[in-house]
Amino acid sequence: MPAIVEGDDLGTYVLKFRGAGQGVRALLAEIIAGGIARALGLPVPEIVLAQLDTALAQTEPDPEIQDLVRASGGLNVGLDYLSGAVNFDPAVDEVSQDFASRLVWFDALVGNVDRTARNTNLLMWHRKPWLIDHGAALTFHHAWNGAVAQPAKPFAPIADHVLLARAKAVEQVDAELAARLTPEVVTDLLAEVPDEFLQLAGAEHAAGPLSVPASHRQAYVHYFCARLAGRATWVGALKEAADACA
């Protein structure tokens, strides 16, 4: 249940609450996946960090929202609100094969389960598609200890991707996209993740890489570097899935 809020900079943002169902890991996914998308040249609204004062709950009439605000006091994540944007409609809105291929490649890389015809998580703004809501990406980090056994594993849910049938240029864009995500670039974008979020996500780990923000951050870097190094496996599966679409 995100909210549209005005910040003290007078900007309007879609606020993602740390106290919502998936907790702080959804905020981690929003920052990390959004940063990767930007590095790939894909359009994502500006992502900001926002301090939420729980006193706001006092003016909210809905008890459930009151509880959500109280559970989300402190640092949260906001996305720039694209005023006037409308939901992407695959039956009406058209995108190029190049864009579709880049988006499908990205969603397979970050394990985004939430880009289907039922919930495209795409907006049309000024006649161009924009990517939103990556809180459901990085599915691996909901049950990991800092390592993933098969980082190059094909992403099976990509079969339901709203733009899979248009993604006929996956092989052509693969090398270019992978070259944009050097270890240095991945390390720099993970540096944007606040220690506070990493501490909260790793709170149940008394020891190991997830118990310390620096090594927790590095675990994500290692994962993406390994997934990119083994991308022949998942990109091959991606091409087969796209080719099988009518």
Q: Read off the pLDDT of each residue in 76-89 and give the average, rounded to a whole number.
A: 96
Residues 223 and 226: their CA atoms lie apart, in Å, by: 5
Write out pLDDT tens, residues 134-168: 999 999 999 899 999 999 999 999 999 999 999 99
Q: Read off the pLDDT of each residue in 240-245 and give the average, rounded to a whole number.
A: 93
Write out the residue range of the structural domain in which residue 219 sits. 98-130+143-244
Is the pLDDT confidence value at 60 over 90? Answer: no
Write out pLDDT tens, residues 185-196: 999 999 999 999
Q: Are residues 69 and 114 in the same domain?
A: no
**What pLDDT sits at residue 246?**
67
Q: Read off the pLDDT of each residue in 67-92 and give the average, rounded to a whole number.
A: 95
Q: How far apart are the first and last CA of the chain?
A: 35
In a domain, 56, yes or no: yes
Q: Read off the pLDDT of each residue in 208-231 and give the average, rounded to a whole number.
A: 96
Q: Are residues 67 and 158 in the same domain?
A: no
Is the pLDDT confidence value at 206 over 90? Answer: no
In a domain, 137, yes or no: no
**What pLDDT sits at residue 219?**
97
In a domain, 86, yes or no: no
Residues 215 and 170: their CA atoms lie apart, in Å, by: 33
pLDDT tier, 115 (very low <50, low <70, confident <90, very high otherwise):
very high
**What pLDDT sits at residue 105?**
98
In a domain, 190, yes or no: yes
Q: Read off the pLDDT of each residue in 173-191 and give the average, rounded to a whole number.
A: 98
Q: Read off the pLDDT of each residue in 29-44 and give the average, rounded to a whole number.
A: 98
**pTM for the model:** 0.95
In a domain, 88, yes or no: no
Residue/partner pairs of 193-202 with CB below 8 Å, 24 or more apart: 193/28, 193/31, 193/32, 193/217, 193/220, 194/49, 194/75, 196/74, 196/75, 197/18, 197/24, 197/27, 197/28, 197/31, 197/75, 198/28, 200/18, 200/23, 200/24, 201/23, 201/24, 201/25, 201/28, 201/141
Q: Are residues 223 and 102 in the same domain?
A: yes
Is the pLDDT confidence value at 213 over 90? Answer: yes
pLDDT tier, 21 (very low <50, low <70, confident <90, very high otherwise):
confident
Is the pLDDT confidence value at 120 over 90? Answer: yes
In a domain, 204, yes or no: yes
Q: Are residues 21 and 51 in the same domain?
A: yes
Q: Are residues 154 and 187 in the same domain?
A: yes
Q: Read off the pLDDT of each residue in 190-218 and give the average, rounded to a whole number.
A: 93
Residues 35 and 146: their CA atoms lie apart, in Å, by: 20
**What pLDDT sits at residue 174?**
98
Q: Read off the pLDDT of each residue in 96-113 and give the average, rounded to a whole number.
A: 98
Specify the number of domains making up the chain.
2
